[in-house]
Every structure is written in C-alpha cells, then in structure tokens.
Amino acid sequence: MFPPGEYIRDELDARGWTQEKLAQIMGRPETAISQIINGSKAITTQTAKELGAAFGTSAELWMNLEGAYRLALEEADASDVARRAEIYARAPVPDMLRRGWIKHCDTVEALAREVLRFEQVPCLEDWPPQLAAAARRSGEAQEESFIGQVAWLCRLRQLAPQVPAERFSASRVDKHLEELHALTQSERELRRVPAVLAKMGIRFLVVEHLPRTHIDGYTLWLDEKTPVIALSLRSGRIDWFWFTLAHELSHVRHGDRPLIDNDLVGRSRSVPTSDIEIRANEEASNWLIPSATLSSFIARTKPRYYKQRIIQFAGLHQIHPGIVVGQLQHRGEIDYRHDREMLVDVRNIVTRITVTDGWGRVPDCA
C-alpha cells in the first residue's frame, strides 16, 4: 500500500511543481510537506482540505488515501500480534526467556525460529513435539500447564546427553539397589546418588519446574537402553526427594512408557489414575520402608509419635527420620506440621552434585 505522499508526488509532477512551491501555496513549512510526502507525518483534516484546494480535488480523497494507508500499516502490525499469539499458545515464552532457554529476539519470526529450535519441531503447525504425549493426561492439565510441561520435557531432552552413565541393564539396577538405599540414612550421603545411579546405567539430572506445571519427576528413555531420571525438586524436602526418586526408579525397572509425574507427595498428592502409577507408588514406599515394618511401628507407637521414637525407629532401619515423618504424614498418622525440623531441605546439596537447570543455574547445551 502506497502512502498518500506518492499521490501528492504524482500531482506535483503533473503540474511541474516542486515541494517548495506546494509549501508556499499551502502556507506550510517545506519540511512539513516533505514529511507528508515521505509518510512520516499523517494528513489531518485541515491538511486534506488544503491539498484539495491546491490540486482541485475533494478533501475526502486525501482523507480516504490517508485512512487506507494507516489501516494497512496497522494490519501489518496486527499480523505480528497474531503470529506472536500463535507462538505464545505453544510455548511459555516469558518463562523460557527468564530461564535462558531461548534468546531475546527483535522480530516475531526470529522468536518463532528460537522456539522451533528449542522444541525441535520444523514448524508451529507440527507442535507439539512427539515427546509431549508424556505430558498429556485425560481430564487433567489446563493448556497453560501443558505447554509448560512440554517445554520442561524439551529442556530435559537437551540436557540428558550431557550426563555420563554406564551401559544400562536390569541386573545393574538390582546389583546397586542396596547401595543406593544405604544413602537414605543421611543428607550428607546424597552426594553419592548420581554416581550410584550412573553405575546402574541411569542418567540423573535436575530441572526446576515451570510455574503451574506441578512436575515432580519424569523418566525419559533416550533410546531403548538409555534411561534418564529427572527431578524438579519442586520441594527440597528429603522425603520428597527420596520418594520421587524411588517412584521414577520403579518406572525404569519396569521399562514403563514415559509419563510426567505430578503431585507425587505432599498435601496435594494426587490419586494415581493408572495401575502403573499405583505400582510405582507402592514400590517406592516399600523400598524406603517396608509397609509391614511401618505398620508395626504405628501399631506400637500410635498416637504418641514422639520425636525420639521416630529417630530410634529410623536409626534401627537405617533411614533418615525425615523419610519416616513423610510416610507417617502420607498415612494421615501425623499432621503436616509435625516434626518439621526433621524434614531437612536438601535442594542445595542435590543441585551441586549433578547437572542442574534452575535456581539461577543454566548449564551449557550441546
């Protein structure tokens, strides 16, 4: 769409006039006429009247030309808005920028390329990426939550190849399970977790969850023989850490299909909707503290869950007392405010011992 100034230029050429002469006729500064012709200055109603008088046309002609030109410019701007809305509907762009997952871009198309590169899809029409099936659950997740989960999974896929591990086998997992369980006794032993998982052939990393996603953990298979366990450490409590890790370990041992694990622990703990999740929860709880053992302790102790009794029970079974407190909370035996000092925060320990994205850390990507 041409600016009205092109038509003014045609009128000047037809008459052999210069911009200076038109400015003198209209009683305007020559710079004002130049700005109108270049499109940097809009034609007002007064200017339209003066142009009409100068060229022997109607004022409406120039107002119509001006209106059509400005509308065309706004339509171009609106197309950028529509394109940006399309991108934001498929990716949590503000969160991705904040986390350093994508670069700030000067144009909408550059932003689109950044998002497509990050999520590894050829075009927006091919969104979501194939791995997004792991995040989709029937009857669950608002769209905003879903796109955040997809981005989290894509970041996990980027980082996982950086984590070293032995060749995976089920026998390796079984061989080192007891060694891994021994690390539950103290938060100081957490530093050895990645190494033991690596001996099993499992890559372990931490990616902070995005707002409104409620992700606790995920088991990714880079291929049929390369499992990855990722935790979000949405809570840094030691009982959350160990239960979520044990839950994902169950998925690895059974070769379960990928599925995001949300709200595994805490007061908002979700009710499992599949046999796979029920099994993973049961195996995680029993691996930490055998159900019969905990039930026996409850029968002997209820309702007097004194701190010293919990510590003695935990010491006897070589497990951190915070894990016992977490199990008792889940069973509804004690309130969530009970013995909170035992629920130590281990996030700062865990994020220092493995590849971590979040809390200000942005690892390099291959």
DSSP line for 277-292: HHHHHHHHHHHHS-HH
CATH no. for 4-87:
1.10.260.40
Residue in this structure with the two tokens 């902070």, named with its chain if needed: 208
Neighbours of 162 (CB within 10 A): 13
**Domain layout of the chain by residue ranges:** 4-87, 88-153, 163-357
Pair 243, 284: CB distance under 8 Å: yes
Would you state the pLDDT for residue 135? Answer: 57
Task: Using 70 as the pLDDT threshold, list the residues of the chain that sit under it.
Answer: 1, 75-77, 132-142, 266-273, 365-366
What Cα–Cα distance (Å) separates residue 362 from each residue in 32, 206, 207?
52, 11, 10
Would you state the pLDDT for residue 365? Answer: 58
Give the integer Cα–Cα distance in Å for 270 and 264.
6
Would you state the pLDDT for residue 139? Answer: 41
User: Hey, what are 328's tokens?
Assistant: 């008792």
Would you state the pLDDT for residue 285? Answer: 95
Would you state the pLDDT for residue 132? Answer: 61
- The 8 Å CB, 24+ separation contacts for 252-259 are 252/173, 252/202, 252/219, 252/227, 253/170, 253/173, 254/279, 256/219, 256/280, 257/134, 258/131, 258/133, 258/134, 258/218, 258/219, 258/220, 258/221, 259/134, 259/137, 259/218
Would you state the pLDDT for residue 281? Answer: 92
Would you state the pLDDT for residue 69? Answer: 84
Pair 122, 329: CB distance under 8 Å: no
User: Hey, what are 157's tokens?
Assistant: 């896929």
Q: 359 phi and psi, to 5 degrees?
A: 55, 40
Contacts (Cβ under 8 Å, ≥6 apart) of 144: 92, 212
Give the integer Cα–Cα distance in Å for 358 and 366.
17
pTM of the model: 0.77
Q: 295 phi and psi, to 5 degrees?
A: -65, -40
Would you state the pLDDT for residue 141? Answer: 45
Give the integer Cα–Cα distance in Å for 315 and 320.
7
Would you state the pLDDT for residue 129? Answer: 84
Pair 91, 119: CB distance under 8 Å: yes
CA-based diameter of the chain, in Å?
108
Would you state the pLDDT for residue 253? Answer: 94
Helix ranges, 89-215 (H): 93-98, 108-119, 143-159, 170-182, 193-200
Q: Residue 217: in which H helix or E strand, if any? A: strand 215-223
Closest CA to 248 of 234, 263, 265, 229: 229
SS3 313: helix
Would you state the pLDDT for residue 73? Answer: 76
Closest CA to 362 of 26, 145, 96: 96
Contacts (Cβ under 8 Å, ≥6 apart) of 226: 165, 168, 201, 203
